[in-house]
Protein backbone atom coordinates (compact mmCIF):
# COMPACT_ATOMS: atom_id res chain seq x y z
CA UNK A 1 0.00 0.00 0.00
CA UNK A 2 2.83 2.39 0.86
CA UNK A 3 4.44 1.66 -2.49
CA UNK A 4 1.25 2.74 -4.28
CA UNK A 5 0.91 5.91 -2.22
CA UNK A 6 4.47 6.93 -3.00
CA UNK A 7 3.76 6.67 -6.72
CA UNK A 8 0.72 8.97 -6.29
CA UNK A 9 -0.99 7.24 -9.18
CA UNK A 10 -4.63 6.45 -9.77
CA UNK A 11 -4.22 2.98 -11.17
CA UNK A 12 -7.30 0.89 -10.59
CA UNK A 13 -10.27 -0.73 -12.23
CA UNK A 14 -13.98 -0.07 -12.55
CA UNK A 15 -16.56 -1.37 -10.11
CA UNK A 16 -18.96 -3.75 -11.89
CA UNK A 17 -21.84 -2.55 -9.70
CA UNK A 18 -21.61 1.26 -9.70
CA UNK A 19 -18.99 1.84 -12.44
CA UNK A 20 -16.78 3.92 -10.12
CA UNK A 21 -13.05 3.83 -10.94
CA UNK A 22 -11.53 2.37 -7.78
CA UNK A 23 -7.93 3.19 -6.93
CA UNK A 24 -6.78 1.74 -3.58
CA UNK A 25 -3.34 3.41 -4.04
CA UNK A 26 -5.03 6.80 -3.95
CA UNK A 27 -7.57 5.74 -1.30
CA UNK A 28 -10.34 6.44 -3.81
CA UNK A 29 -12.82 3.57 -3.52
CA UNK A 30 -16.55 2.96 -3.70
CA UNK A 31 -18.78 1.20 -1.17
CA UNK A 32 -18.60 -2.10 -3.05
CA UNK A 33 -14.87 -2.71 -2.88
CA UNK A 34 -14.01 -5.56 -0.56
CA UNK A 35 -10.34 -6.33 -1.17
CA UNK A 36 -7.55 -5.86 -3.65
CA UNK A 37 -4.92 -8.26 -4.90
CA UNK A 38 -1.40 -7.24 -5.92
CA UNK A 39 1.02 -9.76 -7.37
CA UNK A 40 -1.02 -12.59 -5.87
CA UNK A 41 -1.22 -11.13 -2.37
CA UNK A 42 -4.74 -10.24 -1.19
CA UNK A 43 -5.43 -7.44 1.27
CA UNK A 44 -8.88 -7.22 2.82
CA UNK A 45 -10.53 -3.81 3.00
CA UNK A 46 -13.29 -2.39 5.15
CA UNK A 47 -15.66 -5.01 6.64
CA UNK A 48 -13.89 -7.82 4.80
CA UNK A 49 -11.04 -7.49 7.30
CA UNK A 50 -13.34 -8.92 9.99
CA UNK A 51 -14.46 -11.93 7.95
CA UNK A 52 -10.88 -12.56 6.83
CA UNK A 53 -9.70 -12.66 10.46
CA UNK A 54 -12.60 -14.93 11.42
CA UNK A 55 -11.87 -17.29 8.53
CA UNK A 56 -8.23 -17.54 9.57
CA UNK A 57 -9.31 -18.42 13.12
CA UNK A 58 -11.73 -21.02 11.75
CA UNK A 59 -8.93 -22.39 9.57
CA UNK A 60 -6.81 -22.95 12.67
CA UNK A 61 -9.68 -24.78 14.40
CA UNK A 62 -10.24 -27.03 11.38
CA UNK A 63 -6.55 -27.88 11.13
CA UNK A 64 -6.33 -28.75 14.83
CA UNK A 65 -9.48 -30.90 14.88
CA UNK A 66 -8.86 -34.65 14.83
CA UNK A 67 -11.10 -37.58 14.02
CA UNK A 68 -11.74 -38.31 17.70
CA UNK A 69 -11.72 -34.68 18.76
CA UNK A 70 -14.84 -32.98 20.11
CA UNK A 71 -14.17 -29.95 17.93
CA UNK A 72 -14.48 -32.16 14.86
CA UNK A 73 -17.85 -33.42 16.08
CA UNK A 74 -19.01 -29.85 16.62
CA UNK A 75 -17.79 -28.77 13.19
CA UNK A 76 -19.63 -31.68 11.57
CA UNK A 77 -22.85 -30.84 13.40
CA UNK A 78 -22.54 -27.14 12.55
CA UNK A 79 -22.13 -28.10 8.89
CA UNK A 80 -25.09 -30.50 9.01
CA UNK A 81 -27.45 -27.93 10.48
CA UNK A 82 -26.34 -24.75 8.70
CA UNK A 83 -25.60 -24.70 4.93
CA UNK A 84 -23.74 -21.37 5.06
CA UNK A 85 -21.55 -22.56 7.92
CA UNK A 86 -20.92 -25.77 6.00
CA UNK A 87 -19.67 -23.69 3.08
CA UNK A 88 -17.41 -21.64 5.35
CA UNK A 89 -15.92 -24.77 6.91
CA UNK A 90 -15.39 -26.25 3.45
CA UNK A 91 -13.75 -23.01 2.28
CA UNK A 92 -11.03 -23.26 4.94
CA UNK A 93 -10.67 -27.05 4.78
CA UNK A 94 -8.68 -26.97 1.57
CA UNK A 95 -6.27 -24.37 0.25
CA UNK A 96 -7.98 -21.30 1.69
CA UNK A 97 -8.22 -18.37 -0.69
CA UNK A 98 -9.97 -15.17 0.38
CA UNK A 99 -10.95 -14.08 -3.12
CA UNK A 100 -12.37 -17.49 -4.06
CA UNK A 101 -14.33 -17.55 -0.81
CA UNK A 102 -15.79 -14.10 -1.48
CA UNK A 103 -16.69 -15.12 -5.02
CA UNK A 104 -18.46 -18.30 -3.93
CA UNK A 105 -20.18 -17.03 -0.77
CA UNK A 106 -20.51 -13.24 -1.13
CA UNK A 107 -21.28 -13.02 -4.86
CA UNK A 108 -18.06 -11.09 -5.35
CA UNK A 109 -16.73 -10.04 -8.73
CA UNK A 110 -13.19 -9.09 -9.68
CA UNK A 111 -12.19 -6.05 -11.70
CA UNK A 112 -10.28 -6.05 -14.95
CA UNK A 113 -7.09 -5.13 -13.12
CA UNK A 114 -4.18 -2.77 -13.75
CA UNK A 115 -0.41 -2.92 -13.87
CA UNK A 116 2.55 -0.65 -13.13
CA UNK A 117 6.01 -0.69 -14.66
CA UNK A 118 9.49 -0.28 -13.26
CA UNK A 119 11.42 -2.21 -10.66
CA UNK A 120 8.49 -2.18 -8.25
CA UNK A 121 5.90 -2.80 -10.94
CA UNK A 122 3.35 -5.58 -10.94
CA UNK A 123 -0.25 -6.49 -11.62
CA UNK A 124 -3.29 -6.06 -9.41
CA UNK A 125 -7.07 -6.10 -9.36
CA UNK A 126 -9.90 -5.20 -7.04
CA UNK A 127 -12.58 -7.45 -5.56
CA UNK A 128 -16.15 -6.17 -5.27
CA UNK A 129 -19.26 -7.35 -3.40
CA UNK A 130 -22.80 -6.17 -4.21
CA UNK A 131 -23.51 -5.34 -0.54
CA UNK A 132 -21.29 -5.08 2.51
CA UNK A 133 -24.17 -6.58 4.53
CA UNK A 134 -23.37 -9.93 2.89
CA UNK A 135 -19.84 -9.76 4.26
CA UNK A 136 -21.19 -8.86 7.71
CA UNK A 137 -23.51 -11.88 7.62
CA UNK A 138 -20.62 -14.19 6.69
CA UNK A 139 -18.58 -12.79 9.58
CA UNK A 140 -21.44 -13.51 11.99
CA UNK A 141 -21.85 -17.07 10.69
CA UNK A 142 -18.12 -17.73 10.89
CA UNK A 143 -17.99 -16.37 14.44
CA UNK A 144 -20.92 -18.61 15.39
CA UNK A 145 -18.91 -21.68 14.40
CA UNK A 146 -15.90 -20.42 16.37
CA UNK A 147 -18.11 -19.82 19.42
CA UNK A 148 -19.57 -23.32 19.12
CA UNK A 149 -16.08 -24.81 19.21
CA UNK A 150 -15.41 -22.92 22.44
CA UNK A 151 -17.97 -25.06 24.28
CA UNK A 152 -16.40 -27.16 27.03
CA UNK A 153 -17.35 -30.85 26.85
CA UNK A 154 -16.23 -33.52 29.31
CA UNK A 155 -17.04 -37.23 29.11
CA UNK A 156 -16.94 -39.82 31.86
CA UNK A 157 -16.52 -43.40 30.67
CA UNK A 158 -14.52 -44.93 33.53
CA UNK A 159 -15.30 -44.71 37.22
CA UNK A 160 -12.03 -42.84 37.69
CA UNK A 161 -13.43 -39.96 35.62
CA UNK A 162 -16.68 -39.60 37.53
CA UNK A 163 -18.88 -36.63 36.71
CA UNK A 164 -21.50 -37.47 39.34
CA UNK A 165 -20.71 -34.24 41.16
CA UNK A 166 -22.31 -32.48 38.19
CA UNK A 167 -25.65 -34.26 38.64
CA UNK A 168 -28.40 -31.62 39.00
CA UNK A 169 -29.31 -30.95 42.60
CA UNK A 170 -32.82 -29.75 41.72
CA UNK A 171 -35.47 -31.39 39.50
CA UNK A 172 -34.78 -30.99 35.77
CA UNK A 173 -36.55 -32.01 32.58
CA UNK A 174 -34.77 -35.12 31.30
CA UNK A 175 -35.28 -35.72 27.57
CA UNK A 176 -34.59 -39.07 25.94
CA UNK A 177 -31.62 -38.83 23.58
CA UNK A 178 -31.68 -42.42 22.33
CA UNK A 179 -32.11 -45.91 23.72
CA UNK A 180 -31.52 -49.48 22.64
CA UNK A 181 -29.17 -52.42 22.86
CA UNK A 182 -25.38 -52.38 22.79
CA UNK A 183 -23.05 -55.33 22.40
CA UNK A 184 -19.28 -55.66 22.52
CA UNK A 185 -19.29 -59.46 22.31
CA UNK A 186 -21.50 -62.38 23.38
CA UNK A 187 -20.50 -61.88 27.01
CA UNK A 188 -20.78 -58.08 27.15
CA UNK A 189 -24.09 -56.59 26.07
CA UNK A 190 -27.14 -54.93 27.49
CA UNK A 191 -29.68 -52.15 27.21
CA UNK A 192 -28.85 -48.49 27.70
CA UNK A 193 -30.71 -45.21 27.40
CA UNK A 194 -29.18 -41.74 27.26
CA UNK A 195 -31.02 -38.72 28.67
CA UNK A 196 -30.25 -35.00 28.40
CA UNK A 197 -31.11 -32.11 30.70
CA UNK A 198 -30.38 -28.42 30.59
CA UNK A 199 -28.78 -26.88 33.66
CA UNK A 200 -28.82 -23.11 33.85
CA UNK A 201 -28.65 -20.96 30.72
CA UNK A 202 -25.58 -22.53 29.12
CA UNK A 203 -25.06 -25.93 30.75
CA UNK A 204 -26.18 -29.46 29.80
CA UNK A 205 -25.70 -32.89 31.35
CA UNK A 206 -26.16 -36.34 29.81
CA UNK A 207 -27.06 -39.38 31.87
CA UNK A 208 -26.90 -43.04 30.95
CA UNK A 209 -29.45 -45.49 32.37
CA UNK A 210 -28.61 -49.19 32.07
CA UNK A 211 -30.52 -52.31 33.01
CA UNK A 212 -29.74 -55.99 33.04
CA UNK A 213 -31.27 -57.67 29.98
CA UNK A 214 -30.67 -61.14 31.35
CA UNK A 215 -34.03 -60.95 33.10
CA UNK A 216 -36.07 -59.75 30.12
CA UNK A 217 -39.02 -62.09 29.62
CA UNK A 218 -38.27 -64.16 32.72
CA UNK A 219 -41.38 -65.08 34.75
CA UNK A 220 -42.08 -66.46 38.22
CA UNK A 221 -43.18 -69.68 36.53
CA UNK A 222 -39.75 -69.98 34.90
CA UNK A 223 -38.12 -69.64 38.30
CA UNK A 224 -40.44 -72.19 39.94
CA UNK A 225 -39.76 -74.72 37.18
CA UNK A 226 -36.01 -74.11 37.24
CA UNK A 227 -35.70 -72.50 33.83
CA UNK A 228 -33.09 -70.05 35.10
CA UNK A 229 -29.43 -69.83 34.06
CA UNK A 230 -26.46 -68.80 36.17
CA UNK A 231 -26.44 -65.22 34.81
CA UNK A 232 -30.10 -64.78 35.72
CA UNK A 233 -29.56 -66.17 39.20
CA UNK A 234 -26.69 -63.79 39.74
CA UNK A 235 -28.78 -60.84 38.54
CA UNK A 236 -31.53 -61.72 41.04
CA UNK A 237 -29.24 -62.36 43.97
CA UNK A 238 -30.91 -61.12 47.16
CA UNK A 239 -33.92 -59.69 45.32
CA UNK A 240 -37.32 -60.72 44.07
CA UNK A 241 -37.84 -60.96 40.32
CA UNK A 242 -39.79 -57.68 40.25
CA UNK A 243 -37.08 -55.91 42.22
CA UNK A 244 -34.31 -57.28 40.04
CA UNK A 245 -36.10 -56.38 36.79
CA UNK A 246 -36.57 -52.80 37.98
CA UNK A 247 -32.92 -52.19 38.92
CA UNK A 248 -31.31 -49.39 36.92
CA UNK A 249 -27.74 -48.14 36.90
CA UNK A 250 -27.51 -44.37 36.39
CA UNK A 251 -24.40 -42.37 35.58
CA UNK A 252 -23.58 -38.87 34.36
CA UNK A 253 -21.52 -39.58 31.22
CA UNK A 254 -21.11 -36.12 29.66
CA UNK A 255 -21.25 -32.47 30.61
CA UNK A 256 -21.30 -29.40 28.41
CA UNK A 257 -20.56 -25.97 29.81
CA UNK A 258 -20.47 -22.59 28.08
CA UNK A 259 -22.82 -23.79 25.34
CA UNK A 260 -23.83 -21.21 22.77
CA UNK A 261 -27.17 -19.58 23.51
CA UNK A 262 -28.71 -20.86 20.26
CA UNK A 263 -27.74 -24.49 20.90
CA UNK A 264 -30.94 -26.49 21.28
CA UNK A 265 -31.48 -29.92 22.84
CA UNK A 266 -31.14 -31.84 19.56
CA UNK A 267 -27.85 -30.14 18.74
CA UNK A 268 -26.34 -30.84 22.16
CA UNK A 269 -27.74 -34.40 22.15
CA UNK A 270 -25.97 -35.25 18.90
CA UNK A 271 -22.65 -33.76 19.99
CA UNK A 272 -22.63 -35.28 23.49
CA UNK A 273 -23.78 -38.72 22.36
CA UNK A 274 -21.11 -38.82 19.64
CA UNK A 275 -18.50 -37.53 22.12
CA UNK A 276 -19.37 -40.32 24.56
CA UNK A 277 -19.15 -42.94 21.81
CA UNK A 278 -15.86 -41.54 20.52
CA UNK A 279 -14.42 -41.70 24.05
CA UNK A 280 -15.20 -45.42 24.31
CA UNK A 281 -18.75 -45.29 25.64
CA UNK A 282 -21.48 -47.77 24.78
CA UNK A 283 -22.74 -47.40 21.21
CA UNK A 284 -26.34 -48.33 20.54
CA UNK A 285 -26.43 -50.76 17.64
CA UNK A 286 -30.11 -51.74 17.90
CA UNK A 287 -32.22 -48.67 18.69
CA UNK A 288 -35.57 -49.16 20.39
CA UNK A 289 -38.45 -48.93 17.95
CA UNK A 290 -41.51 -46.71 18.28
CA UNK A 291 -39.93 -44.55 20.96
CA UNK A 292 -39.57 -40.82 20.34
CA UNK A 293 -36.12 -39.45 21.05
CA UNK A 294 -33.96 -36.45 20.24
CA UNK A 295 -31.97 -38.54 17.76
CA UNK A 296 -35.02 -39.96 15.98
CA UNK A 297 -34.31 -40.12 12.27
CA UNK A 298 -30.60 -39.40 12.69
CA UNK A 299 -27.77 -41.85 12.15
CA UNK A 300 -26.71 -42.95 15.61
CA UNK A 301 -23.44 -44.76 15.12
Give residue 19's pLDDT.
96
Give residue 135's pLDDT.
97
Averaged pLDDT for residues 197-215: 89
Question: Taking the model in full, what pTM does it have?
Answer: 0.80
Is the predicted pLDDT of residue 246 greater than 90, yes or no? no
- 219-243 pLDDT, tens digit each: 777 777 777 777 667 766 777 767 6
- 77-124 pLDDT, tens digit each: 999 999 999 999 999 998 899 999 999 999 999 999 988 877 667 899
Give residue 31's pLDDT.
96
Give residue 24's pLDDT.
86
Give residue 6's pLDDT.
44
The three-state (H, E, C) secondary structure of the chain, written as one string: CHHHHHHCCCCCEECCCCCCEEEHHHCECCCCEEEEEECCEEEECCCHHHHHHHHHHHHHHHHHCCCCCHHHHHHHHHHHHCHHHHHHHHHHHCCCCHHHHHHHHCCCEECCCEEECCCCCEEEEEEECCCHHHHHHHHHHHHHHHHHCCCEEEECCCHHHCCHHHCCCCCCCCEEEEEEEEEEECCEEEEEEEEEEEECCCEEEEEEEEECHHHCCCCHHHHHCCCCCHHHHHHCCCCCHHHHHCCCEEEEEEEEECCCCCCCHHHHHHHHHHHHHHCCCCCCCEECCCCCCCCCCCCCC
Lowest mean pLDDT among 55-59, 172-176, 284-288: 284-288
Confidence of residue 160 (pLDDT cuts 50, 70, 90): low
- 256-269 pLDDT, tens digit each: 999 998 899 999 99
Averaged pLDDT for residues 22-35: 92
Most confident residue range from 8-17, 169-178, 220-229: 169-178
Amino acid sequence: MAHFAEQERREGDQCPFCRHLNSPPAYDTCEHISAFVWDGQAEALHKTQSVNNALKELLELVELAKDDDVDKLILEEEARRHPTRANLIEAVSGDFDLVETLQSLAYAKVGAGWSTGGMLGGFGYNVYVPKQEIVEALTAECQAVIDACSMKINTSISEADSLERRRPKTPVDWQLVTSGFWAEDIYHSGHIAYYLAKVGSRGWVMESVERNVELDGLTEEDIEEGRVNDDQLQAMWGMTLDEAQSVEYRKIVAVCTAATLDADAEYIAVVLYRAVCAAGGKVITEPDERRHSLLSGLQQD
